[in-house]
Structure 1
Amino acid sequence: MSSPVETFTTYKHSIELQKNVADLWWTVDDNEREITFELHINTTGWIALGINLAGGMKGTDIGVGWVDQRGSVYFQDRYAFAKERPMLDNTTIDWFALQGREVSGWTAIQFKRLLDTCDLMDVPIKSGTNKLIFAYGLTDPIPSGPNGEISYHENQHGSRALSLRSYTDSLSEDTFAGLDYFDFRLNNYVVPSTEMTSHCKIYKAPSNYSVKQHAIGYKMIIDSANQDLVHHLLIYECDPTAQFDDNNLPDDLCNEIYLQTAPCAYNGAIIWDVGGNDIVAFPEEAGYPIGGDFLIKYYMVQIHYNNPYQLSNRTDSSGIRFYIGKELRQHDLGYLTLGTTSTPHALAIPPKMERFIIDSYCPATATMGGERAEDEMCRHVMKYYPRMNNMYDCLMMNSPQIWNSMMNTSSSSFNDSKLMEWLLNLTWTSEQAVQWQEFYNIASRVLLYGASSNLQFKFMSGLPKYQDLKPVACTKDQTINQTTSSQTTTMNESISYTSRIRQNIMIILI
C-alpha cells in the first residue's frame, strides 16, 4: 500500500488501486448487510469511489467526500446517468462518512453503506465481481459545504474489478521463497495505439527439467504502469503434436499468426482477468506438470490489451511466473473450461436486456475419462485433479439446425457470416426480447468437448429441466445511522416452436 496515512481501524481486505495514488480497505458485515470502506488518495481535494454493474461512468453509484481546511468532513451520495458530472442522489442518502483527515498531502475518509439499499439511484453490491471506479480532484468543491459542486476529474481516475463480498487477499510472494521458478513474459513489447489488441507468443517448456516437475503456484506479472491496458491474459497448452522452430517461435498479433498458432488455440489452461488474484497456490495434493515426459512441450500466452484512449509509446513486459515445488505431489493438475463458445451460435443477446439466461450443460458422459473487452463471453475455467490429458473443454452452442429454422434458410447456405448479418439486422421490442428468451430456453444444442486433437461433438435436442431461482426482492428493513451534520451528508418441439417465434422475428427485420 502506498498511503502514508494510518487507517482508522483494521479491515479484512485491502488493495492498492493505483501505485502512489490510491489505496482501498474494506470489511463486509453480512449480519448487518453493510460494507465499510476506507479510501486514501494522494490529493488534498475531493475523492470518490463508485460502483457499477458494467464498468464505465454511466449507471455508477458514487460516494464523494473531502476534508476542508478546518478538518471538517463532507460526503455526498451521487449517481451518474451518463458520462457527465454525477448528480446528487435525490431519493435517499445511502453513503455515510464516519471520519476523515488529511495527512502529508493525502486524503483519507472512512465511510459505509448497505450492500443493497433498494434505491434506484444506488447499485447493489452483490456476490461476484463488482466494477469499481475511483476519481479525485485537486481542490475541494466550491462552496466547501454539503452542496459543494465537484470539479471535473480530468485524467485523475481509474477502475478495478473486485469481488468485494468474496475477495481473497493475494498471497505474499514469500509463500514461494527459495523455490526455483520460470517465466513466460513479453520483453518490452510496444503496445499498439489501437483500441483492442490481442498479442500471442509461443514459449517452449523449460529445457532444464529433464524429469517431470510440479509447479505448485504462479504469479501474474502485470506491469504496474500498464494495469490500465492489460485486460486479460490466457495460457494455452499446445497440442502434443505441435512442432515449431525453436529459434523463431511465433510472436505477433494473434490474427496475424493464427495459422501458425492453430495447434495452441484450443486447450486452455490458466486465465487471468482484471480483478483476479495475482498470486495463486495450488492445492497441497496437486501440482501443475512441467518438463520431463509430460506431453506438453509448447505453450501460448495470449494477452489482450484494452486501449480505449489509443495511447502510444507504451511498452509492456507482462506475463506469468511458475514456482516449482521441491518434490512431486500426488496428482497432476489440469484445467477444464465450461460454458459456451464465444460465437454468435451461442451468444446472441438482445440489446438493453437487464436479465437474459443462457444455460450451458456438461453431461457426465463428457467428463468421464470473441474476445474483445466489449464482447460477450460466458466461460468458467476451473482447475481439477487428477488431470485428464484428453479433456480441456466442455462448451455449448445452439445447433445449426435451430438457427436454420429461425432464419428460414437451408443448411447448405448457413454460415457464420450470414448468421451475424441476420442478427445485426434485427430490431427489438420488449415482447420480442421475451420470445427470444423462450427460443433460447428450448433450442437444441451442440456440445463440444475433449481436446483439440480429439474434439467430440454431441447433438442435444434439449437441456435437463430445472427451475431458475428467482431474484431475491430487496427489503430495506435495516438502516444505517443517517446522521447529518457539518461533517457528514448524507433454446421436433423446438423446431415447430421456433417457426412461431420466427414469424414474429421477421416482423422486426429491417
Structure 2
Amino acid sequence: MQTSRDKKMDIDRKFSKDTNEILGMQMDMDNMANRKMDKKKLTGMKMDTAKSKHMKMDMTKSKDMKMDMDMGMSHNEMGMDMNKMKRLMEGYKYHVMLDITSKLMFCWNVNYSNRTVSIRVTCQLPPNYWFGVGFSDYGEVTDADFVVFWNDPVSTHHLQDSYTDSNGVLHADHSLDYTLHRARTEDGLSILEYTRPFDTCDERDYLLDNGTTHIVYFVSKGTPSTCVGKDVRDLHHGFQRVQLLKPDVHLPPLPTDVWTFEITAPKVKIPGSETTYWWFITTLPILHHKHHIVRYEGVIQKENEDIVHHIEVFHCVGRKHVHPYSGPKVPEGKMDPTSDLASCRNVIGAWAMGAEPIIYPEEAGSPIGGEGFSPFILLEVHYHNPHLRTGHVDSSGIRFYIYYNRSCR
C-alpha cells in the first residue's frame, strides 16, 4: 500500500522533473526521504547564546513601513528599487527572491574549504511582523528547518534556531547550529547575516547537498513573546527551488569573436494562475553558414525572479514552415501530431531557477545555422505563481553565445 509520504514523493518527482533535468542533477529520492538519521552532535560552530533559548540582539528600531499583504496588488506597488537590490546583493555570488510582497531576499556564498554556507536574508516589513526562512525536503513548512526573527511586545529583537514538526508547529532547536554574524536595519529593511555547515550533525537540521534545495519561508503579523508553538501552516508561506551548493569549477574563456542573441518572451502578461506554461514561436538570426553555440544563460526579468521557474528553447526540425504562436502550452497528449508545433522538440538551451550559465568545453559546441537548418524556434517559459498575482509582464528568456569557425569545433 502506498503511504501518504510515498504519494508526496511521487508528486514531488513529477513537479521537479523539468528542473532536475535542466540542472543535470540526479537526486536520490530515497536518501532524501531518510535525511533524518542518527548523527553525533557537532561540538563546534554554535551560536553564542549564553545558554539562552534565543538570542537577543541590539538593533535599531526599524522605521514604520506599510505593507499590503493583498496578493493581488500590482507589480508597481510591490517593486523594489533596482539600485537597492544591487546593494543588498553585494558580496554574495548567488541570490533568489523568495517573496516579492515582503521583499524577502535570500543571498548566499558557498565555502567548500570549511563546508559552510554564508547567508544574507533581507526583508522589508513593519516592526509588528515576524518571519522565518529555512529548508525542507519538499518545499513544505512541516518537518522544516527554520531560522525565525521576531520582535516581542517590548520591542526586543529575537533570532531563534527552530524546526517544525509534522503538524507545522514551531519548536526551539537547542542544538543551535547557526552562527549569527550581523543584524541591522537599513532603509527600512531588516538584514540578517549568518552561516551554517553543510551538515550540522543535528537530526533536526536539513542536510545541504548538491541536489535541488527547497528554501521555505513564512511571514506573519504580530509581536509574539515566543515563536514556539506557532503553527506555520496558518501563516503566509511559500518556497523556492534552487541549487544551493553550486559547483566550484573553472570556466574556460570564450573566443574573442563571440557574438550573442536572445530568445525572450514577447512581453507576456503572466496569468493569475498557479502554473502556466507559455509557448512562443520565433526565429533564429539568419545564419548562412554553420555556427556553434558555445554558451547560454538565463536572462530573467528582475521583478519576475520569483515567478519564472524554468525556460527551455526548442529547435523546430525539418524544412516545414512553423506558423506564429504565442499562448498557453498545448496540453500533453492533445497536440495534433501533424501540427507544425510538433516538430519543435530538440532542446538547444535551458535554464532553471538558480542555474548558472552553461559553457561548452573549448573543443565543443552545439551546431546551428547553415544550409537546410530550420530557422524556427519554440520558447517555453514555466511561470510558477502560487500567490496568483496579476499585473506582471515578462520578457525573460535565454541568451546564446555564438562562434563561427570555418573548421568545425
TM-score grouping bracket, smaller chain normalisation: 0.5 to 0.7
Mapping for residues 64-463 of structure 1, pairs under 5 Å: 64-65=148-149, 74-81=158-165, 84=168, 86-89=169-172, 92-136=175-219, 141-143=223-225, 159-167=239-247, 180-207=259-286, 209-241=287-319, 243-244=320-321, 248-255=323-330, 258-259=335-336, 260-277=339-356, 279-293=357-371, 295-325=373-403, 327=405, 330-331=408-409
Q: 1:41-60: per-residue Cα shift (whole Å, max 9, x none)?
A: 33464453211122232332
Report the 3-state secondary structure (helix = DSSP H, G, I; strand = E; otherwise coil) of the residue aligned with 1:267. Answer: strand
Q: CA RMSD in A?
A: 4.2
Q: Deviations over 1:403-438 (max 9, x none)?
A: xxxxxxxxxxxxxxxxxxxxxxxxxxxxxxxxxxxx
Partner of 1:60: 144
Distance verdict in 2 for CA 1:202–1:292, change over 3 Å: same
Structure with the greater alpha carbon radius of gyration: 1
d(CA) in 1 for partners of 2:85, 2:343: 40
Give yes or no for contact 2:133–2:146 (8 Å, CA) kept in 1: yes
Larger RCO, structures 1/2 (Cα 8 Å, 6+ apart): 2
Give the Cα–Cα distance (whole angstroms) in 1 for the partners of residues 202 and 352 of structure 2. Answer: 30
Alpha carbons of 1:70 and 1:97: their partners in 2 closer, same or farther (altered >3 Å)?
Answer: farther
Match of 1:27 in 2: 110
Shift of 1:326: 6.2
Identity percentage of aligned residues: 23
2 CA distance for matches of 1:136 and 1:87?
Answer: 14
Q: SS where residue 194 of structure 2 aligns?
A: strand
Unaligned runs of 5+ in 1: 332-510
Unaligned runs of 5+ in 2: 1-83
Q: Give the SS at the match of 1:258.
A: coil
Aligned to 2:160, the other structure's residue is in SS state strand
User: Equivalents in 2 of 1:177, 1:67: separation in Å?
Assistant: 54
**Helix, strand or coil for the counterpart of 2:303?**
helix
Q: Deviations over 1:443-487 (max 9, x none)?
A: xxxxxxxxxxxxxxxxxxxxxxxxxxxxxxxxxxxxxxxxxxxxx
Partner AA of 1:308 in structure 2: P
Deviations 1:40-97 (A, max 9, x none): 333464453211122232332111135889997632122234685x412356333342
TM-score (structure 1 length as normaliser):
0.51
Within 2, Cα distance between the matches of 1:40 and 1:307? 21
Spell out the pairing of 1:484-499 with structure 2 (5 A cutoff): none
Q: Which amino acid aligns with 1:131?
A: H
Secondary structure of the residue aligned to 1:165 is: coil
Corresponding residue for residue 18 of structure 2: none
Query: How many Å separate the matches in 2 of 1:22 and 1:170?
Result: 28
Among 117, 120, 139, the alignment partner of 1:38 is 120
DSSP 3-state at the match of 2:318 = coil
Alpha carbons of structure 1 residues 127 and 266: separation in structure 2 relative to 1, 3 Å: same
Q: CA deviation at 1:177?
A: 10
Change (3 A) 1:229 1:29: closer
Whole-Å separation in 2 of the counterparts to 1:5 and 1:266: 40
Instruction: Confirm or deny: 8 A CA contact 2:335 2:342 kept in the other structure.
Output: no
Change in Cα spacing, 1:328 to 1:253, as seen in structure 2 (3 Å) is farther
Deviations 1:307-336 (A, max 9, x none): 3344444332222222333656752xxxxx
Q: Distance in 1 between matches of 2:192 and 2:177?
A: 16
1-side partners of 2:178 and 2:296: how far apart? 38
Q: CA deviation at 1:124?
A: 1.1
SS at match of 1:64: strand
Structure 1 residue matching 2:365: 3-state secondary structure: strand
Kept in 2: contact 1:73–1:101 (CA 8 A): no
Counterparts in 2 of 1:79 and 1:152: CA distance versus 1, 3 Å: same
Residues 29/188 of structure 1: CA separation in 2 closer, same or farther (3 Å cut): closer
Separation in 2 of the partners of 1:329 and 1:94? Answer: 55
